[in-house]
Amino acid sequence: MIGQVVVGIDGSDYSLSAFRYAEHFASRLGCELKAVFVIDSRKTELPIIYATGHFDYAFARTYVPPDPEMKSFYAKIKKDLESFATAVLGNIEASCKEKKIPFAAIRREGLPSQVLAEECRSGDLLFIGQRGENARFARTIVGSTAEDVVRSSPRPVMACPGAFRLPEKVLFPYDGSPAAERALQFCVNAFECFWKEFLVLSSEEEKGLTEREHRYLNKHAIDHRLITETGSPIDTVLEVAEREGADLLLIGSHGTHKIRDYILGSTTVHLLRKSPLPVLIVY
């Protein structure tokens, strides 16, 4: 059972879409919604400035105090961001009150990925945007806030695209790994009959769900259907999602090669970057 959902907000279109997903889930599940606006300290803290001689073989450095104009510039940035955060959280609170959703607002300053990982400990599910306020700059390497959050969050994470669509049909790429089993259990226990259809994607080699897992889903009255593809379902998951009209992807954080995936780029990261659908990642 989910008692609280947490959503990371920065005012971007992606984060506001994440809020719409969080609001929808909170309304359906009858739980509290906590919105966390993180003022990125990298934008508000003065850089440390050092001066050193060109031929300083001792590498001695002299601290140069910031210019007063620079200090006032950073102070203004911080004040503007605080005002913006207050306005955004106020609009979100008004929307939740209208829908009678219990609401909590947190405004903190720090590194967004670290703050969100800390704040989501009070909840059961964290919603974030797939991209942030710099969405126009496409990321091709690990390091975005979303990917940092996915790697460090102690709770399941739903990474949301820029546009909301009603989540009714789930596609679950299943590989028999412990993470996939935990994802299945979390989805069933947390949402039960939330979905209109639950699709399980597997390869012919893995042969999909076992009889025990079918019984598990049937006991919880989960209407499910197995889809079998040749080769690894990893390569076809987005193609199948489009073909079947899925609204959401459910995946375990790692497959059967946890260390290799973490170093080389896991299915989780691939879908996080490429999926036009929200991706629910369970650890």
Structural domain including 142 reads 4-43+77-160
Mean pLDDT throughout 172-181? 88
Shared domain check, 249 and 211: yes
pLDDT at 92 over 90: yes
Shared domain check, 143 and 8: yes
> Encoding tokens for residue 48?
């440390």
Shared domain check, 151 and 174: no
> Encoding tokens for residue 129?
């945007």
Shared domain check, 201 and 115: no
Q: Is residue 275 part of a domain?
A: yes
Q: Is residue 266 part of a domain?
A: yes
CATH code, domain with 138: 3.40.50.620
Shared domain check, 187 and 108: no
What pLDDT shows up at residue 199? 96
Shared domain check, 156 and 211: no
CA 30, CA 11: separation in Å to the nearest integer?
25
Shared domain check, 192 and 209: yes
* CB-facing half-sphere around the CA of 20: CA atoms within 13 A: 17
Shared domain check, 179 and 152: no
Q: Which of 114, 139, 160 is the last residue of a domain?
A: 160
CA 18, CA 159: separation in Å to the nearest integer?
7
Q: Is residue 66 part of a domain?
A: no
Q: Is residue 216 part of a domain?
A: yes
What value does the CA radius of gyration of the chain take, rounded to a whole number of Å? Answer: 22
pLDDT tens column, 120-153: 999 999 999 998 755 554 444 334 788 889 888 9
**How many domains, in total, are found in the chain?**
2
> Of 158, 147, 163, 132, which Cα lies nearest the Cα of 39?
132
Name the phi and psi angles at 32, rounded to 5: -80, 150
Q: Is residue 58 part of a domain?
A: no
pLDDT tens column, 225-254: 999 888 666 668 999 999 999 999 999 886
> Encoding tokens for residue 170?
């789930």
pLDDT at 108 over 80: yes
Q: Which of 160, 187, 206 is the last residue of a domain?
A: 160
Shared domain check, 139 and 9: yes
Shared domain check, 136 and 29: yes
Global pTM value: 0.87
> Of 171, 158, 150, 161, which Cα lies nearest the Cα of 253?
150
Shared domain check, 130 and 17: yes
Intra-chain end-to-end CA distance of the chain, in Å? 17
Q: Is residue 64 part of a domain?
A: no
Shared domain check, 155 and 15: yes
